[in-house]
Structure 1
Amino acid sequence: MTDQDRPDEGKTTGPEGPDAPLHRRGIKSYVLRAGRMTQAQTRGLEEVWPRLGLTLAQGRQDLDALFGRQAPRVVEIGFGMGASLIEQAETHPDTDFIGIEVHAPGVGKLLDEADKRGLTNLRVYREDALAVLEQCLPEGSLTTLQLFFPDPWPKKKHHKRRIVQPAFVELVRTRLASGGTLHMATDWEAYAEWMAEVMEAAPGYLNTATPETAPYVPRPDFRPLTKFEARGERLGHGVWDLIFRRVD
């Protein structure tokens, strides 16, 4: 049994209240990992970034000007190596996508692929997602926010690091257009239950699940099946999707 598998002692923790600060100094929902950069990833960061990369320093974005058109807008937080986001951008050319990821290899890989495939409907932040939502994305500007397989931080003492907290989903709500959706997926059942608890208590959202499957929805066809997820399915691992719509 690893430390991660061993249950913690003591009181069970729950989601923080809606008034909890989004940025607790020293607490992040991610850990930066060191890794070697491939030639393609380096090329993405060095050659493609000036065209498709975005920064906090640019401030609040005019998304119509950024993409040169009016279109549905999808933001994905934590896209990993970017395969799913690339597939979505290529499959849905009439939708604009913004990916947010802090890990350099993943950002470099996505940029390299986007360039090779000639994608013009994709932009990337290599920044903290909360800061991007707060400082760069206008209120009511997003059709969908995607959060697929975030770090579950399984130890009870680390639950405060989970990105899904009442303050986070309220911030997301303000960035969604009326009728826009927050789509989350996880392969940790305990985190799925946590997400459902946070969302059911959050004002201004409606669960899109049917009574037969609530609080979860079947995996929608528009969410690409990752290699990791496909392997998990073969091994009998579960995956839980939640889609909530902004209703005010």
Structure 2
Amino acid sequence: MRPDVFTHRASRPHEPLRTFHPRRAPLGRDRTDALERLFDRWGFSVDDDRVPPPRTPDGLLDTAALFGRTAPLVVEIGSGMGDATAAMAAADPDRDWLAVEAHLPGVAALLLLVERAGLTNVRVAHGDALRLLRTAVAPGSLDAVHAFFPDPWPKARHHKRRLVQPAHVALLRDRLRVGGTLHVATDWADYAAQMVDVLTADPDLAGGAVERPAHRPVTRFEQRGLDLGHEVTDVVVRRVR
């Protein structure tokens, strides 16, 4: 699939504002090659009907066709360059992992990691994760949702774009099975406080701030923040009803 067919559809008036910065970055030869060779096999587009996911007769994402099996599903919102996703999926082969990333270099980087590690339980979606969850993922169908280091939108006037806010959390919780987990992390102190406040205020979720679980690896992005003295907060909540 040629990189120039990938598009971002503009947000519609009735849809929430994007929670990520649309940005472009050069792909380079290896990542361009990865998209051309691997995307049609292990990826799909949220926004472009020319590279759609498999769907059930009622229009929902057909995860059995996508992965070739039926297994608990983890959705990674904003998988970045994919190193954490690949490591966690390799360590947890009994679950399937759908990484949703808006930026092509990250999509391509994860595809390369999947190929090199021989992973069979990872698929990669390019586009807006919230749109995918709203339009194509059945309620109660996810085992876990992860969002590690989402865009912090540090300016107060942009806080409405943050991923962790009540309306978005309601969507994420609805897509989880009862007992499923939502795990978020940030190195922005005020965003961490907002995450804790919003997630613990939802009566159908239980949990709070925790030490970094051993299964979540430290990413290169995270390590740069730690080297600068940033404090990382993980928040894990479980759907209780």
Residue 214 of structure 2: aligned partner: 221
Runs of 4+ in 1 over 6 A off after TM superposition: none
* Alpha-carbon separation, structure 2, partners of 1:105 and 1:39: 11
Residue 181 of structure 2: aligned partner: 181
> RMSD value over aligned CA atoms?
1.7
Tell which has more relative contact order, 1 or 2 (C-alpha 8 A, sep 6+). 1
Shift of 1:22: 7.5
Equivalences, count:
219
- 2:102 matches 1:102: yes
Shift of 1:201: 1.8
Structure 2: gaps spanning 5 or more residues: 1-12, 47-51, 54-58
**Identity fraction in percent:** 47
Residue 138 of structure 1: aligned partner: 138
Higher gyration radius (CA) = 1
- 2:234 matches 1:244: no
* Alpha-carbon separation, structure 1, partners of 2:96 and 2:187: 27
Residue 33 of structure 1: aligned partner: 23
> Structure 1 22/79 Cα, relative in aligned 2: closer, same or farther at 3 Å?
farther
CA contact (8 A) 1:22 1:167 kept: no
Q: 1:55 aligns with which of 45, 54, 66?
A: 45
Shift of 1:234: 4.0
Shift of 1:33: 1.5
Name which of structure 1's ranges 179-188 and 103-112 shifts more when overlaid on structure 2.
103-112
CA contact (8 A) 1:43 1:112 kept: no
* Alpha-carbon separation, structure 2, partners of 1:33 and 1:165: 23
**TM-score, normalised by the number of residues in structure 1:** 0.83
Residue 49 of structure 2: aligned partner: none
Q: Secondary structure at the match of 1:216?
A: strand
* Alpha-carbon separation, structure 2, partners of 1:69 and 1:170: 28
Residue 223 of structure 2: aligned partner: 230
Q: Secondary structure at the match of 2:210?
A: coil
Which residue type is aligned with residue 216 of structure 1? A
Structure 1: gaps spanning 5 or more residues: 1-20, 208-214
Aligned residue runs from structure 1 range 111-126, under 5 A: 111-126=111-126
1:29-85 Cα distance to aligned partner (Å, 9 max, x none): 111222111222112211100011123444411223322223221110001111111
* Alpha-carbon separation, structure 2, partners of 1:81 and 1:154: 22
- 2:34 matches 1:44: yes
